[in-house]
Amino acid sequence: MLLRFSVSNYLSIAARQEISLVATKLKGPSSPLLRSSAIGQLNALSSAVIYGANASGKTNFIKAIEFMRSAILFSHRQGKPEGGVPRLPYQLDSQIRSSPTMVEADFVLKDIRYQYGFECDDDQFVSEWLYTFPEGKRRRLFERTKNEVEFGQSLKGPKKILVSLMRPNSLFISTATQNDHEDLSRIVSFFQSMQFSSTISVAKNLINNTFKKGEIHTRTISFLKEIGTGIVNYRQTEIQVPDNIISFQKEIMEIARKHMGEVSNRDEDTDREKDISIELAHIGSDGSEVFFGLERESSGTRRLILILNSIFKALDEGTVVFVDELDASLHTLAVEQILTLFNDTNINQNGAQLIATTHDTNLLACKSLRRDQIWFAEKSGAGETNIFPLSDIKSRISDNFEQGYLEGRYGGIPYSGDLRILMNGAVV
């Protein structure tokens, strides 16, 4: 359960910005609230949607979380000693650009609340910290300053040997996980379980490759059927990959192994000789199933297959899923039904969460969304992204939020002047 994520000096985000999934005390639907003994009388939200104009920076919040996850999982295993830290700092101010990038998350894992974060520059991780909150009081598990790490008494398992293995450009928690530290590996599992969906244009080969070793969930097919796509089933057939494609893939893998140090996997080599083709079934006039290739389905249908599989996995496992441009190629009612899956506690019984960016203002009229689930991202005149929730703006539950947003009362909208002036050659 994610409670809060904050970031500074990353892409268009300069000063520290934060998105919170802790419910406010404002009136609103109570069904989306998630509860845990780890946060006492507080409640968490099952979903949040972020609005903003194009290039407002709303996507950069999701990218910042992806950056944090990648550093946690891979900085020790895949990073090179001389490689530095692959951050993307804010570029429009030289002083900020040279300052550290910071990311931090508060979350609940197995009814224990944690706070983890780190700071990094281009060369190294300059600080890193992990705290837990037994009985509501913060307790240190470890604090790192450059290559020095101090530990709290409650962190068990090997410590000093892990510090000796840690590189300046690898996180301590990543080093510990790669060396099988039981307690820290369990904490890392929270970030590992996160799912991201940012692909808007979904080609059939992406779906075929995604499900090469898995199945399309039966509930995904049921969802597609219920929203009127006409899809009632699917089938998956194995096909032989042409020899020239296999040769090309092997050449690419050899280059990757040479430059990235990857180890050959004989099973993966065998898998590349076979591929799968997915076809979706519609009902013919005689009641029989007629199968079509994915290229004959709409882009929205193809995208829904990938998004829904991630969503049902999150609902089953109680994890967090991030979707960029949730409304892209999708009808408003389909998007609203996706939100309903998370906001209905009878369906979302394991505390799954959805964080999505969107432009679909119709969702602002969704009765199951609370004001603290609606966020806005906008850029200042200096090009810095700011993010804030609707609950911070004076409003009433009976207000027409869609109309208010389109009228610019909440911010987070594109330029709304008369662009016809550009046709007259005037300087804007």
* Sequence-distant contacts of 173-176: CB under 8 A, at least 24 apart: 173/72, 173/116, 173/128, 173/130, 174/71, 174/72, 174/73, 174/74, 174/75, 174/76, 174/77, 175/76
pLDDT in tens, 207-260: 888 887 778 888 899 998 888 888 999 998 887 666 666 666 566 666 665 555
Question: Which pLDDT value is given to residue 71?
Answer: 96
Is pLDDT above 90 for 132? yes
Question: Which pLDDT value is given to residue 239?
Answer: 75
Specify whether the CB–CB gap between 347 and 379 falls below 8 A: no
Tokens of 192: 């590992």
Specify whether the CB–CB gap between 309 and 220 falls below 8 A: yes
Is pLDDT above 70 for 404? no
Prediction pTM value: 0.84
Angle, vertex CA 368, rays to CA 365 and CA 370, nearest 5: 80
pLDDT band, very low/low/confident/very high, at 270 (cuts 50, 70, 90): very low
Angle, helix 182-192 to helix 58-74, in steps of 10 degrees = 150
d(CA 40, CA 51): 30
> Which residues is 103 bridged to in the sheet?
7, 118
Tokens of 42: 């507080």
* Sequence-distant contacts of 58-61: CB under 8 A, at least 24 apart: 58/357, 58/377, 58/385, 58/387, 59/198, 59/324, 59/325, 59/357, 60/10, 60/11, 60/12, 60/13, 60/385, 61/5, 61/7, 61/13, 61/17, 61/19, 61/357, 61/377, 61/387
How many Cβ atoms are within 10 Å of 131's Cβ, its own excluded?
18
Angle, vertex CA 283, rays to CA 280 and CA 287, nearest 5: 145
Is pLDDT above 50 for 419? yes
Question: Which pLDDT value is given to residue 266?
Answer: 41
d(CA 318, CA 49): 19
Q: How far apart are the first and last CA of the chain?
A: 46
d(CA 116, CA 190): 11
Is pLDDT above 90 for 417? no
Is pLDDT above 90 for 166? yes
Is pLDDT above 90 for 128? yes
Question: Which pLDDT value is given to residue 171?
Answer: 96
Specify whether the CB–CB gap between 278 and 236 falls below 8 A: yes
Question: Which pLDDT value is given to residue 238?
Answer: 81
pLDDT > 70 in the chain, percent:
83
Question: Which pLDDT value is given to residue 263?
Answer: 42
Question: Which pLDDT value is given to residue 91?
Answer: 95
Of the candidate ranges 32-46, 169-183, 399-413, the one whose mean pLDDT is the lowest? 399-413
pLDDT band, very low/low/confident/very high, at 394 (cuts 50, 70, 90): confident
Is pLDDT above 50 for 127? yes
pLDDT band, very low/low/confident/very high, at 407 (cuts 50, 70, 90): low
d(CA 400, CA 389): 16
Average pLDDT, integer, range 398-420: 59
d(CA 123, CA 290): 57
Is pLDDT above 60 for 61? yes
Specify whether the CB–CB gap between 1 and 36 falls below 8 A: yes
Is pLDDT above 60 for 265? no
Pick 346 or 411 by higher pLDDT.
346
pLDDT band, very low/low/confident/very high, at 403 (cuts 50, 70, 90): low
- Alpha carbon 142 to chain centroid, angstroms: 26
Considering only CA atoms, which of 173, 305, 168, 176 is closest in space to residue 231? Answer: 305
pLDDT in tens, 295-338: 888 888 888 888 998 999 999 999 999 999 988 878 888 888 88
Question: Which pLDDT value is given to residue 392?
Answer: 84
Alpha-carbon separation of residue 125 from 62, 241, 395 (angstroms): 21, 43, 42
d(CA 22, CA 33): 9
Is pLDDT above 70 for 395? no
Question: Which pLDDT value is given to residue 94?
Answer: 94
Q: Where do the domains of the chain lie, and which CATH numbers do they carry?
A: 1-194+319-428 (3.40.50), 204-298 (no CATH)
Is pLDDT above 80 for 405? no
pLDDT > 90 in the chain, percent:
48
Alpha-carbon separation of residue 341 from 107, 117, 254, 345, 402 (angstroms): 21, 30, 44, 8, 22
pLDDT band, very low/low/confident/very high, at 197 (cuts 50, 70, 90): confident
Give the distance between the most distant pair of CA atoms in the chain: 72
Question: Which pLDDT value is given to residue 286?
Answer: 93
How many Cβ atoms are within 10 Å of 422's Cβ, its own excluded?
10
User: Average pLDDT over the chain, rounded to whole?
Assistant: 85
Is pLDDT above 50 for 268? no
